[in-house]
Amino acid sequence: MKKEFDKFKQWLADNYCDGLLDLNPPATDDEIEELTTTIGVDLPDDFISVLKIHNGQKGEAAWLFDSQEFLSTHRIIEEFNIWKNLLENELQGKISTPDDGVKNEWWNVNWIPFTSDGCGDHYCLDLSPTETGTKGQIITLWYELDEREIVSQSFSLWFEEYVKQLYSGELVYSKEYNSIVYKDELE
Is the whole model's pTM more than 0.85, yes or no? yes
pLDDT exceeds cutoff 90 at 141:
yes
Provide the strand spans (E) within 4-159. Answer: 69-70, 97-98, 111-113, 115-116, 122-126, 137-141, 147-148, 150-152
Cα–Cα separations (whole angstroms), residue 120 to 29, 117, 131, 142:
28, 7, 27, 6
Query: What is the rounded CA–CA span in Å between residue 106 and residue 117?
Result: 18
| Amino acid in the structure at residue 170 | E
- 129-140 tens-digit pLDDT: 999 999 999 999
Structural domains of the chain, ranges and CATH numbers in brackets: 2-186 (3.40.1580.10)
39 band by pLDDT with thresholds 50, 70 and 90:
very high
Q: Are residues 138 and 152 in contact, defined by beta-carbon separation less than 8 angstroms?
A: yes
49 band by pLDDT with thresholds 50, 70 and 90:
very high
pLDDT exceeds cutoff 90 at 92:
no
DSSP 146: -
Query: What is the rounded CA–CA span in Å between residue 78 and residue 70?
Result: 13
